[in-house]
């Protein structure tokens, strides 16, 4: 179904740079194969038992993602900031390994295994991602793809909390569809309006993207 939606978006000429998803899709080899058959770039979350073969001398022919990344010395992990949130810059430690993802049919597909763990002063946390970006991709590009879906999730969260997307009481799909379109247009306008205000009042430091609002920004924009 999701590949069909992607095909529909492509047929409509919807511009996009790649596909991102959570681990429910990232761990689905048919979904990944479908993206690769369509020559789509992607960066998806995967679970710790995602099967890979690392491109390194002496590496096992098959191992879990968490095992492969656990063998990387801590000194090779880099702290990267990817977005400014309401409490400051979001940062974690990352490392990427060139590897092959392995399927149940013993097929191997080249790509990147990206690991994420806590930075200094943070609670222990480990996440894993798989991407088919080319070998020339930088660690910053891989991190960017891995975290793009969070902007969509934030969009949904703010649509519910600020504009009542979750308050629809109807039972039919056409009514819910109209309600959703109206809410999405309203939220898009507010984000665009906030971005204009930021551009008009430049401050020192690295510019933030439209999906890193300051605390209460949507409420002030709506007012």
Q: Express each pLDDT in 79-124 by its tens digit.
A: 998 877 667 788 899 999 999 998 878 788 999 999 999 988 888 8
pLDDT in tens, 195-213: 888 777 766 655 555 444 4
**Residue tagged 């009514």 (tokens):** 175
pLDDT of residue 131: 97
Class of 2-146 in CATH:
alpha beta
pLDDT of residue 164: 83
Q: Give the residue extent of every domain in the chain.
A: 2-146, 153-222
pLDDT at 193 over 80: yes
pLDDT in tens, 128-167: 999 999 999 999 999 998 888 777 777 778 888 888 888 8
Mean pLDDT of the region 75-80:
93
CA-CA distances (angstroms) from residue 70 to 46, 127, 197?
16, 12, 45
Looking at residue 165, the DSSP 8-state letter turns out to be G
- What is the b/e burial string over 151-177, where b = at least 16 CB atoms within 10 angstroms of the residue's CB? eeeebeebbeebbebeeeeeeeeeeee
Report the run of H or E that residue 114 belongs to, with start and end: strand 108-117
Lowest mean pLDDT of 22-26, 56-60, 92-96, 116-120, name the range: 56-60
pTM for this prediction: 0.76
pLDDT of residue 200: 78
Nearest one of 127, 167, 155 to 47, comparing CA atoms: 127
**Residue tagged 């022919």 (tokens):** 61
pLDDT of residue 52: 94
Mean pLDDT of the region 36-51:
95
Q: How far apart are the first and last CA of the chain?
A: 39
pLDDT at 219 over 60: no
Mean pLDDT of the region 15-42:
92
Highest-confidence segment of 93-102, 188-197, 213-222: 93-102
């Amino acid at each position: 179904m999701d590949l069909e939606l992607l095909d529909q978006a492509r047929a409509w000429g919807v511009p996009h740079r790649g596909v991102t998803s959570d681990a429910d899709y990232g761990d689905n080899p048919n979904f990944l194969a479908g993206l690769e058959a369509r020559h789509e770039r992607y960066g998806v979350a995967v679970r710790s038992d995602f099967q890979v073969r690392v491109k390194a001398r002496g590496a096992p022919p098959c191992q879990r993602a968490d095992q492969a990344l656990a063998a990387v010395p801590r000194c090779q992990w880099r702290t990267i900031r990817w977005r400014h949130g309401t409490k400051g810059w979001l940062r974690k430690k990352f490392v990427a390994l060139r590897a092959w993802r392995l399927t149940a049919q013993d097929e191997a597909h080249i790509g990147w295994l990206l690991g994420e763990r806590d930075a200094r002063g943070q609670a222990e946390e480990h996440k894993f991602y798989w991407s088919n970006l080319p070998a020339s991709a930088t660690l910053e590009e891989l991190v960017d793809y891995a975290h793009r879906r969070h902007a969509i999730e934030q969009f949904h969260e703010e649509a519910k909390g600020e504009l009542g997307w979750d308050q629809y009481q109807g039972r039919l799909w056409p009514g819910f569809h109209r309600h959703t379109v109206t809410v999405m247009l309203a939220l898009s306008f507010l984000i665009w309006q906030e971005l204009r205000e930021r551009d008009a009042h430049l401050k020192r430091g690295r510019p933030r993207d439209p999906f890193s609002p300051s605390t209460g920004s949507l409420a002030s924009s709506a007012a």
